[in-house]
Structure 1
Amino acid sequence: MRSKAHWGYSEEFMESCRDELRVHAEEMVPLRMTVAEAEGRVVAVASLDGQLPEGELLNLFVEPDVIGKGVGRTMFQHMADTARGVGFRTMALDADPNAEPFYEAMGCVRVGVVPSGSIPGRTLNRYAFEL
């Protein structure tokens, strides 16, 4: 929630996203949940889902105080390596508009538009990354 709020979204918007962004303990293993730690604290989280041949990058969030310090890049690369190891050929994701420049810098290509899971009438750009 802190990572998403970093982009200046209103409290109302953030509350609308809360359920969609929440990850429950029983989902962590099936979603291949990964965390990055620095100095004893979690600084990023990401998960990977999907069915062959397409993986789905979910929940890539970075603590606001380390955004721009390479943590997101490291997590993205780790998740791409994990996806390759599972046998995925592509890794798709739905990008927050504020994260689009990051994903494009990682080599992702916009492939479509999808409805938001939280905000009626809002859409997100869908990206794919060739593994």
Structure 2
Amino acid sequence: MNILKAIPKDHIRLTEITKKSKAYWGYSEEQMEKWNNNLTITIDYIETNPVFNLVDENQIVGYYSYFKLQDNQVKLDNLFILPEYIGKGFGSFLMNDFVERMRNEKCQKIILDSEPNAEKFYQKIGFTKIGEFETSIKNRFMPIMEMKL
């Protein structure tokens, strides 16, 4: 496994990974269609934000992206892995790379909005829930989480 900086032409593959990973949690096709724009990774997004691919056997199988909130704070914007790689340590591998990258950049705090089904994953890595907000799905709440470095 390697982690490599994404290039603009990766946008199609990253969008595919994002949509398949989100659908893994059992959301309806109708809901997935409502989220289509939010789940699409564009060339501009890759050119504007740090995006890193997880490559296994010359295939992109996951990625993460982030942006700075302040000089010492970042927001993890995306972390997605193909469904067949979920639960096999690939997510932890990606997160460890991300956290180490943030430490090297002297970041003091990471914030993220967690997929509700992934909250326990982030807690295992060391994130704590600091709040939540209701999503477009009634009675579905997105945990807001942070990790202090």
TM-score normalised by length of structure 1: 0.90
Matched residue SS, 2:35: helix
Q: Output the aligned Cα RMSD.
A: 1.5
Matched, 1:5 2:23: yes
- Counterpart of 1:53 (choices 72, 77, 84) is 72
- Counterpart of 2:57 (choices 39, 42, 59) is 39
Paired letter, 1:89: Q
CA distance change for structure 1 residues 2 and 25 in 2, over 3 Å: closer, same or farther?
same
Paired letter, 1:11: E
Matched residue SS, 1:92: strand
Provide the residue aligned with 1:109 in structure 2.
128
- Counterpart of 2:43 (choices 25, 35, 39) is 25
Paired letter, 1:64: P
Alpha-carbon distance, 1:83 to partner: 1.8
Q: Matches of 2:47 and 2:88 in 1, distance apart?
A: 27
Alpha-carbon distance, 1:59 to partner: 1.1
Provide the residue aligned with 1:88 in structure 2.
107
Matched residue SS, 2:37: helix
Q: Matches of 1:68 and 1:38 in 2, distance apart?
A: 15
Paired letter, 1:18: N
Alpha-carbon distance, 1:120 to partner: 6.2
Alpha-carbon distance, 1:115 to partner: 4.6
Alpha-carbon distance, 1:24 to partner: 1.1
Q: Tell whether the 8 Å contact from 2:67 to 2:76 is kept in structure 1 after alignment.
A: yes
Q: Matches of 2:121 and 2:44 in 1, distance apart?
A: 29
Matched residue SS, 2:50: coil
Q: Tell whether the 8 Å contact from 1:45 to 1:59 is kept in structure 2 after alignment.
A: yes
Determine what percentage of the aligned residue pairs are the same residue: 30
Matched, 1:14 2:36: no
Provide the residue aligned with 1:72 in structure 2.
91
